[in-house]
Amino acid sequence: MVSRPALLTALVFVGCGGPSAPAATAPDPTASAQPTAAPPAPVAPPEAADAGGAEAKADPPAPKEDTSGTPRERLMRSHFKEVNALRKAVIDGAMSATIGPAETLGNTQALGTIPPKWQPSLDALSAAAKRFGQSPDLPAASAAIADIGVACGSCHKTGGGPKIQVDAPPAVDKTVASQMKRHAWATERMWDGLYGPSDAAWKAGADALSADPFPKEVLAKGGVHARSAAARFTGLVPTMSSKKSPEDRAKLYAELLETCSACHLATGGGKKK
């Protein structure tokens, strides 16, 4: 797998603050000071207690927010999470799930004063994220994701990070599960190549897809729409390695996302992620 510190160890140029805790409710000054009888204690239903009469266990506490690092590093982690949520929503064909992450990603008000050389990348990132609020179709949403990757890559290239390492792809056999796992690995490496940016990651993803045939069982399940997406995918694969510029890679990556989404919608594959 790839060691992808991604936006976390990328340019640390932004800051954020956590929400303040709600104020405690003040006592009612009009309430009577006279003591009142306590209401009877509610009786727990039998299923709420175990055989020994113990009270029902409370729900486990929600995971604590990671507050380690500087405010800028914490916001980079947030951006990484938001971009991943956007990509998953587009790959699954769930356009409604893109709105929240896109709004958060496009809000640059907390950035404060930044070096002028970073401003073009931030403007491009914000503009691409805001396109999700304009009810985009699948091609437009895929293009917006790719443009976010280019904006990230431009900023990272200016700042010299992150450093992306590429390991060997997962083994593949005749099972659909292993083939789709390899597809997912390859598309992730191409994303690394775009936002890193990393020529090695892009080539690793393209090579893995070139060597991996599309599972016939998936095509049979998805019918004509899945076969159409697979045909488009097959046409894209031979051209992947030849894409060198960020713009050409972004265009191809957007088309790749479209084929993934179309196939997942046809087969229900995106629901399993």
For residue 22, being part of any structural domain is answered with: no
What number is the average pLDDT over the span 246-260? 95
Helix (H, G, I), strand (E, B) or coil at 14: coil
Tell me: pLDDT of 270 over 70: no
pLDDT at 229: 83
For residue 156, being part of any structural domain is answered with: yes
DSSP string, 27-92: P-TTS--S--PPPPPPPPPGGGS-TT-PPPPPPPPPPPP---S-HHHHHHHHHHHHHHHHHHHHHH
- How does pLDDT run across 96-120, given as a tens digit for each residue? 999 999 998 888 666 556 678 878 9
CA distances from 175 to 110, 112, 171, 218 (A): 47, 51, 11, 11
Flag whether the pTM goes above 0.85. no
pLDDT at 176: 80
Tell me: pLDDT of 196 over 80: yes
- How does pLDDT run across 208-245, given as a tens digit for each residue? 998 766 666 666 666 787 788 888 888 999 999 999 99
Rounded CA separation 15/76 (Å): 9
For residue 193, being part of any structural domain is answered with: yes
Q: Pull the structure tokens for residue 113.
A: 């004063």
For residue 254, being part of any structural domain is answered with: yes
pLDDT at 86: 95
pLDDT at 178: 87
For residue 109, being part of any structural domain is answered with: yes
For residue 59, being part of any structural domain is answered with: no
Tell me: pLDDT of 266 over 70: yes
pLDDT at 47: 39
For residue 34, being part of any structural domain is answered with: no
Q: What are phi and psi of 234, to 5 degrees?
A: -60, -35
For residue 247, being part of any structural domain is answered with: yes
**Full domain range(s) for residue 138:** 6-11+69-272
- How does pLDDT run across 20-51, given as a tens digit for each residue? 333 333 333 333 333 334 444 444 443 333 44
Higher local confidence (pLDDT), 249 or 28: 249
What number is the average pLDDT over the span 52-64? 48
Question: Considering its fold, how many domains does the chain have in total?
Answer: 1
Most confident of 28-37, 48-57, 168-177: 168-177
Mean pLDDT, the chain, as a whole number? 75
Tell me: pLDDT of 73 over 80: no
pLDDT at 77: 79
Higher local confidence (pLDDT), 136 or 19: 136
